[in-house]
A and B are shown apart, each in its own frame.
Chain A
């Protein structure tokens, strides 16, 4: 039975957060939600097109143009804006301070929105850098995004630098790190000096892998290290494991991009290094994942009462699963069967949806009502949770089966079209899962609206806070 959280004596509201920080975080979340709706509508359209390829056969809605619109809108519009909005709140709260400059983050948000809109328009009309995944935006669009990134990074850093407590909480390691990493990897991806011919492929592997691992994963973990203890009202299981996870994630994750091009002309030592450190990834994944999961141990009471905790738990479980799957996919043997198949598509959705989106939702439902004083309808939050969870499980399972069937057909030496025929029924299931996912996002949008600040922001009772930085 889900109760209204603020009526639960074990889960008290925050000391009133500074209203400017609150509004900035909410604006990021609201814009992100809009891009979630646009980006996943594009994804659903492309799923439908594999079932009915002659539907909406117009240039700007053709499969090959909609695919980068889906991925880039979901990456840079939805996930980045939502994560950064929450991260700015975490940075301010754990520094016991207001955001250094709310204006700076507002400018960033405007730049990011402009970049996502420009990205949508340019990709629709076919202005693109070609199928270089997640860096299809032409450089003027990328520069707008990068400018917003740097401004937000400066803002987060300065908020921490002017903090009112001596400690530098682990969430901020991950969050400030993420801003450094994306600045470097985004620049490395767009500077053309070393990207002629095969050089481009080396950078592509590094870029598409670390964009996920050093930006989305780092921000999600940073937010989880704040939100989970905050919502459960208990410290994280082990601070030291969080530190271990941070440094090993930097070392191992950075080195494994070449595993996207196994058996390619990319230098063999680079591929072998990538496979080796893909195994090494088990260290940060199990250190970080188990650390967060063990924090839940004995907190089943909160899990039953809170509507945020189940999202976070599902998100961390998906993190461990998807990263372990990633290691398995990196081996040369599994690569023979899985590479180029839909297994990759299942893997990326398990990561960006099962892990990243669920952490965002858990943190949003767990933190936003604390600072806006407005709560969503718990029944609608429950509907969101189950639609999203069941939807993406249908999605990931069916698309992964499709991938395995494709791989078997190829290894058996059958005519290529047999792999298409084998995948077709699974693609229909994938679309069904996608419909549930998109429906859950509409419910989420309603809930975000219900959590908007203003109505009772001033009236939030100031109660003693159970701070996460224990």
Chain B
């Protein structure tokens, strides 16, 4: 496990054309890491996330992505991800290859990936058109009952990036609250990068807590408020007003580009990004 600053860690471990999963289901979305990927102008990434959320809307709109594997691509409770839509509907700023699943399918694919199985299975996708547009969704016959079961190939990202509440000095990671498929995505990856709210002497984790031990973690960067405008339980709330405001910002190509330039590209790091938002408010 390596402890570094976010800039170095992203530069060292994320490369053009890789498959990268920034996971976190509404909670603990690694925005700071996503913004650093954007600042470093990584290209041709195959982005993987159950819910692309605003962070992938930004990466897609900024031209970082070649492909997207996902299962629900909206702005939760608000509406569309306009940059994702523009990429799919109009190829702007570049065409986006789409690999589409249901949540249950993608959860099964991550779980298989974490266990290093070739595929995940579920009683799913019955009666839907999804297998017709995603030929990766197939089926097997149960060897015991002959029942037909849907299958999805394992997802094993080159790099998974998470945000968590805390790491201890050895590099063990504690995650509390809504988990999504973070643990599965972490263990499915070749390289695991974690940003944390803080580094502490002791995690004081309850016995059955979600802890990722230091020897599965490649690198850690301490980034306070690194999930903002998503949230970190116990540290700060989700900025729902920002999610509402994003709808207007992302609707228009010029306004989006101006926002990204002003707040992300012109900021050296996440602290400066937060300052620039506070100034604009």
User: Do A and B actually bind?
Assistant: no
- Which B residues are within 8 Å of any A CB, using their own CB? none
- Which A residues are within 8 Å of any B CB, using their own CB? none
